[in-house]
Amino acid sequence: MINLEEIKSFLLDYSGPEIKLMEVCGTHTSTIVKSGIRSLLSKNIKLVSGPGCPVCVTGSRYIDEAVNFALSKDYTVLSFGDLLRVPGNEMSLSEAKALGGSVEIIYSPMEAAEKAINNPEKNFVLAAVGFETTIPAYALLLDNLIELKISNVKLLTSLKSIGPALDWLCENESDIDGFIAPGHVTSVTGASVYRHLAEKYRKPFTVAGFEAEHILVAIYDLVMQIANGRYEVHNLYKSIVSDKGNEKAMEIIGKYFELSSSYWRGIGIIDCSGYTVRENYRHYRIEIPVREEEISNKSKGCRCGEVITGKIEPYECTLFGKGCTPANPVGPCMVSQEGTCGIYYSMYG
């Protein structure tokens, strides 16, 4: 069995055909950047970031909708902190709050129920953004709202399923040779969700943990699969991820949400890639039409869409570290803790 030192030597000395691998998840990007993994790889092995940061893939129009609710005086918008500074086409939720809009930060979806009970005269809009990792928490909130007959909370959803986005990438970004699959999302969906993609596009997927060593082993696994013409799904994070995933979590997601078309920044609309509150529970959902987006004047020049589809590195954006910094972000990739530009800035900015 090969040890870590041998893996490091292999990856540094690799001189085979160029290989491009995508790490899908922002937490993997963070480990890769902060631990300097790239410096341990041959120049023939390239790592690019993917669409695994939920705030980053959310479109500007979604922010505009949330801002409109915040400024309407009829609603209070509840949001996680990282969404607050994401620029919309006109302004961010944070700027809306500064203009007198009603916006409150929450740390868990369940806080929405508490606020609704304690403030029955108010109406709340919960900005619900996330992947399969966080959607069960929104489902549990709906369970709670229904059981307690709480009716003054609605969900403004930008909830997404990572599988269809990877399908789109395999189809449209054919130079990506393999994927480091996200650990957290896969713990819910199960590693088996990647099998049909691996077979359809003949590309390997390896599920990895979040330590630098885990990622190095996953890179080695992918390089070996590619070198040997294999395209399998390997799960190297078995302590957390199973083949079937968390069936209870998927069950409660299915109880309250159904798959629908969804808009992804940098990609566009993908069928069956989002989760919307089911018709039976429509009282709790805010309908927003799914539309393609144009680039607004404010966000002109932001290349987040290319960053999250692995086409460019953050420093290839001319605004990186100049017009765009964490203190003054132009795009969501500079705002979120999982955003590639913000992660790069924290190391190289």
Smallest distance, Å, CB 268 to ligand SF4? 17
Smallest distance, Å, CB 330 to ligand SF4? 4
Please list the residues that pair with 263 across neighbouring strands: 269
Smallest distance, Å, CB 265 to ligand SF4? 10
Distance from chain centroid for Cα 336: 10
Angle between helices 135-147 and 111-118 (to 10 degrees): 30
| CA distance to 37, 110, 165, 207, 333, per residue, from 86 (Å) | 29, 23, 21, 29, 9
Smallest distance, Å, CB 232 to ligand SF4? 34
Smallest distance, Å, CB 298 to ligand SF4? 11
- Which residues of the shown chain bind ligand SF4 in the complex (CB under 6 A)? 302-304, 307, 314, 317, 319-320, 324, 330-331, 333-334, 341
For residue 297, count other CB atoms closer than 10 A to its CB.
7
Nearer to ligand SF4 by Cβ, of 150 and 334: the residue is 334
Q: Which residue is nearest to ligand SF4 (CB)?
A: 331
Please list the residues that pair with 343 across neighbouring strands: none
C-beta of residue 204 within 8 angstroms of C-beta of residue 229: no
How many residues are recorded in the chain? Answer: 349
Nearer to ligand SF4 by Cβ, of 150 and 308: the residue is 308
Any idea what DSSP says for residue 7?
A: H
Nearer to ligand SF4 by Cβ, of 25 and 55: the residue is 55
Please list the residues that pair with 105 across neighbouring strands: 79
Nearer to ligand SF4 by Cβ, of 151 and 318: the residue is 318
Nearer to ligand SF4 by Cβ, of 24 and 317: the residue is 317
